[in-house]
């Protein structure tokens, strides 16, 4: 794995210009040393002196293998990137007189978008004289938001801008309930019964063995 993108971001060894530095590292006392002494300590450990906080007073340096240091940074960046969820804004368009079939079709799409973690931008487009039905468009968007109440929260109520009336919705966070595995419990009574049964079986077994010997 190459770490060329990270090289040059940190001063290493003789590249460090400070007169004294605070050093940290595994098995190393965190103290302030003159730069020449810090370099000597790093050399004795067969490691590198890496300046990790140049703006500190004095600068903080870590004694570590530089290649290992870059690898750890790269790994951390990958983990952070993997945790980031890309949120998209999905648009849904209505007309002021959208029929029931088209409305329900778009409602199902909105639910699907929200369950995927995306935001929804729903708008009513008023074409020509249909702007006269802006109240009807607002009622449609409010009904749309109401029917998505279980899946979304309203970020912005319907707003008319030009020929569009828009509402913004974001997905609701849902708690994931983990099932608890309950281990079987053994009561004192059950333990006592098992012990009694065992004690009863042992004399019976000994009696049977004596009978066999007598025969």
Q: Give the orientation angle of helix 100-115 with respect to helix 134-147, to 10 degrees.
A: 50
DSSP H or E stretch at residue 125: strand 119-125
Q: What is the pLDDT of residues 126-138, one digit of tens each?
A: 988 877 778 888 9
Whole-number pLDDT of residue 82? 72
Q: Give the Cβ contact number of residue 35 at 10 Å.
A: 19
**CA 35, 36, 39 angle in degrees (round to 5)?**
85
- In angstroms, the CA 41 to CA 44 distance is 5
Whole-number pLDDT of residue 36? 93
Q: Which CATH architecture has domain 13-80?
A: Roll (3.10)
Q: Which CATH architecture has domain 89-171?
A: 2-Layer Sandwich (3.30)
Q: What is the pLDDT of residues 106-129, one digit of tens each?
A: 999 999 999 988 999 999 999 888
Is pLDDT larger for residue 42 or for residue 131? 42
Mean pLDDT of the chain: 80
Q: What is the pLDDT of residues 176-190, one digit of tens each?
A: 333 344 444 444 555
Segments making up each domain of the chain, as ranges: 13-80, 89-171
């Amino acid at each position: 794995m190459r770490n060329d993108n990270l090289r040059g971001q940190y001063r290493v060894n003789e590249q460090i210009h400070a007169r004294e530095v605070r050093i940290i590292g595994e098995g190393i006392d965190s103290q302030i040393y003159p730069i020449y002494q810090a370099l000597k300590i790093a050399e004795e450990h067969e490691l590198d002196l890496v300046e990790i906080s140049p703006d500190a007073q004095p600068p903080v340096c870590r004694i570590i293998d530089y290649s290992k240091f870059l690898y750890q940074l790269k790994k951390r960046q990958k983990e952070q990137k993997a945790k980031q969820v890309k949120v998209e804004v999905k648009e849904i368009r209505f007309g002021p007189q959208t029929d029931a079939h088209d409305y329900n079709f778009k409602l199902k799409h909105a639910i699907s978008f929200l369950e995927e973690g995306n935001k929804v931008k729903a708008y009513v487009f008023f074409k020509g004289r249909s702007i006269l039905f802006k109240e009807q468009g607002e009622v449609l968007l409010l009904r749309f938001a109401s029917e998505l109440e279980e899946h979304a929260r309203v970020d912005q109520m319907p707003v008319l801008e030009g020929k569009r009336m828009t509402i913004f919705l974001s997905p609701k966070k849902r708690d994931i309930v983990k099932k608890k595995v309950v281990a079987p419990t053994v009561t004192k009574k059950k333990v006592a019964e098992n012990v009694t049964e065992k004690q009863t079986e042992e004399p019976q077994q000994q009696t049977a063995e004596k009978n066999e010997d007598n025969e």
